[in-house]
Amino acid sequence: MTDRAPDAAADRLRELLRASGALRSGHFVLSSGRHARHYVQCALLLELPERAREAGTLLAQRLATHRPDSIVSPALGGLVIGHETAAALGVPFRFTERHAGEMTLRRGFEIEAGSRVAVVEDVVTTGGSAREAIEVVERLGGEVVAAGAIIDRSGGGSRFAVPLESLLKLGLESYVPDECPLCAQGSHAEKPGSRGA
């Protein structure tokens, strides 16, 4: 499921994910309808501010070598972790948001021309929102020096023209229900979003 190279930050993040119930192992139906052994809900990791702060500090350590002057995150997924990462780096935090279908920078936020920007997301799978945020920053004259994410689910394929720094890489392994080995063992798949409903 995960990279097993020694990595204290990844180990610590895995602990935080487990403690917050954000990373669960079992047999799940994903929103795509596919079945999987693992399920991640990053919002639960960030539910406790002290855990969000720790995750932001760890991600800031990953991004520090790129010397960003500011952090930009696409709303909503990147807001909490982007803010905590910016706090740990001591730089401004701004966010992009969709307006009439277009990713935009609003609310009086500005990007200084030529400034170094890191774009931070919670989870990168296809990287769509982060890539749109990168385009917004570049259109405004900022230099995107890196992307950051708590979890990289992209499966290792580079999604961006800039380096992606993540705390944890998770495999994408999932199955169409007809080919699910867990179903084949007679296990029943759980819809993780239904917990507590």
- Among 22, 23, 35, 133, contact with Zn ion (rule: CB under 5 A): 35
115 to each of 22, 135, 143, 158, how far by Cα in Å? 34, 14, 6, 24
The DSSP-derived string for 6-48 is: --HHHHHHHHHHHHHT-EEEEEEE-TTS-EEEEEE-HHHHTSS
183 contributes a contact to Zn ion by CB under 5 A: yes
146 contributes a contact to Zn ion by CB under 5 A: no
Nearest approach in angstroms of CB 37 to Zn ion is: 9
- Among 3, 135, 182, 192, contact with Zn ion (rule: CB under 5 A): 182
Distance, in Å, from the CA atom of 68 to the CA atom of 173, rounded to the nearest integer, reads: 33
Binding segment for Zn ion (CB under 5 A), chosen from 49-57, 122-130, 166-174, 179-187, is: 179-187
30 contributes a contact to Zn ion by CB under 5 A: no
36 contributes a contact to Zn ion by CB under 5 A: no
List residues near Zn ion by CB under 5 A.
35, 180, 182-183, 189
